Amino acid sequence: MPQPCPIVSRVAAVAAAYPTRCAVVDENGDRLSYDGLWERVRWWTGRLAALGLPPHTTIAVLTDGAGETPAVFLAARSAGLVPVLVDSLLPQGRVADVLAAARPGALVDVARRDIAPGVPAPRVLAAEAGYVVFSSGSQGTPKGIVGQAAGLVHFVDWESRELGVAPGTRVAMLTSPAFDVVFRDMLLPLCTGGELHASGPAPRSAPQRVLPFLAERGVDVVHAVPSLAARWAEAADGVASTALRWTLFAGEPLHDVHVHRWRRVAPRTAVMNLYGPSEMTLAKFAYRVPDPPTPGLQPVGTALPGTVVRLRPEGTDASDGGHVTGVDIESPFGSLGYLPDASSAQDRARLRREGGRTVFRTQDRGHLDAAGNLVIAGRLDSLVKRRGVFVDTARVEAAAVEHGGLRAACCTQAGPADDPRVVVAVESEEGRETGGLLRVLRKVLGAEAPDAAFAVTRLPLLPSGKVDRRAVRELYESRLVRG
């Protein structure tokens, strides 16, 4: 028999302690008590157990983020299966790729409450496997990551202590089910007797709906990506979320301008900046952003309990002569590794599980500030060579946001292979004249200034909310073709 899942045990204990309290408020505003939630979990568990799949078999859960999603996730774990949450609103090609890599024994359609057979020879994982998630794909092909439920519990316990989460605390679920941050949204309230407020898919495609949703529901806690929050704030049209007590940012560099803009629409919120690749489970570093924030890029702070960080030398940054240091993270609560046939040998060499601890050689660049906080300066591959000179594309993005008054920016190399250009795409009115921005960047960055800039109304995003860099390059190259 499979060992009890710690997440299931935790939520079961909460349901027993607070049976009549509200557990979930769905996208339609319908309320479900903890007793009602557990009834849904038992119903789904019975259906999944009746499939007769071997323990630890992967199953795909197709969902748009509806309020029924937590019950299906908990039921899969209760039945001894390993869920793979798949955003049903993703392009069909991406869904097909995820399903091919996951090799699920069953496909659960949450909206239809239907279960269909999976592949004839499904993937069976180790007993410690708690879920499978795919990396964002912001830097290339998404990789399948096998997570452990103990890592989810460890993070939720830390977060609930830090935020003072108590029964009745309202937490928003705005994250795409394809992104592992959805587990923060789902499990923080359900492991503490709080209320999970599911938005459904609408706010993800309509930024103007987010602030009204947070305000109407009286949400206390929200997890967000900085550039997405900037869109929400700009589209607020005078609506403010005065009940919001905590905003936890992750996924992208957080700058003081992001914090200032967000606090204009959430005036009472405290802000925390989190950092941790999906390979290490949700987050492994945290920084409480002061009010007002320090100018510029915000640190990601200090390590969560049990986490060790090591900075490894990677050579010299020719743009300023400084030393480049990569970031290695070690924790007992990281993932179990990549799916072997959904990652390269090089990827698997960077992510190891040894002696009950996960060691991940990230591709991020970092350093410690004077207070001992970790600062993530960019990625190793954000240092690009242009006509014999290194350019830090992360620094270009930071300068565009800080000095250009922009919501978001993405800097990349694009154009002909024999003479690629450093290009910055900025989120603003499409067709906006960018000559003034280039002049500012040349003044601030000198030899590191980009060759070109162009404006788009919306930067293309991945399901995680991060900017899709590949799509930005394609946008620029299509403009070159059009002349």
pLDDT digits (tens, 9 = 90+) for 313-335: 876 554 544 568 899 999 999 99
**CA nearest 282: which of 299, 304, 259, 258?**
304
pLDDT digits (tens, 9 = 90+) for 218-274: 999 999 999 899 989 999 999 999 999 999 999 999 999 999 999 999 999 999 999
Length of the chain: 483
DSSP string, 67-128: TTHHHHHHHHHHTT-EEEEEETTS-HHHHHHHHHHH--SEEEETTTTEEEE--SS--B--TT
Q: What is the pLDDT of residue 318?
A: 47
Q: Which residue has the higher pLDDT, 10 or 205?
A: 10
Q: Which residue has the higher pLDDT, 465 or 307?
A: 307
- Report how far residue 477's alpha carbon sits from residue 80's, in angstroms, rounded to the nearest whole number: 48
Put the strands of the sheet holding 452-456 in their side by side order. Answer: 409-414, 421-427, 452-456
* Token pair of 3 as six digits: 């060992």
Least confident of 236-240, 372-376, 398-402: 398-402
pLDDT digits (tens, 9 = 90+) for 97-144: 899 999 999 999 999 999 999 999 999 999 999 999 987 655 556 789
Secondary structure class of 20 (helix, strand, coil): coil
* Token pair of 56 as six digits: 């630890």
CA angle 431, 230, 443 (to 5 degrees): 60
Domains of the chain: 6-368 (3.40.50.12780), 387-482 (3.30.300.30)
Q: For the purposes of burial, counting CB atoms within 10 Å of the CB of 56, is it exposed (0-12), middle (13-18) or buried (19 or more)?
A: middle
Q: What percent of the chain has pLDDT over 90?
A: 71
- Report how far residue 163's alpha carbon sits from residue 160's, in angstroms, rounded to the nearest whole number: 5
pLDDT digits (tens, 9 = 90+) for 291-305: 999 999 999 999 999
Residue 40 pLDDT > 70: yes
Under the banding of pLDDT at 50, 70 and 90, the label for residue 42 is very high
Helices (H), 344-468: 345-350, 393-404, 435-445
What does the mean pLDDT of the chain come to? 91
Q: What is the pTM of this model?
A: 0.92
Q: For the purposes of burial, counting CB atoms within 10 Å of the CB of 450, is it exposed (0-12), middle (13-18) or buried (19 or more)?
A: buried
Q: What is the pLDDT of residue 483?
A: 56
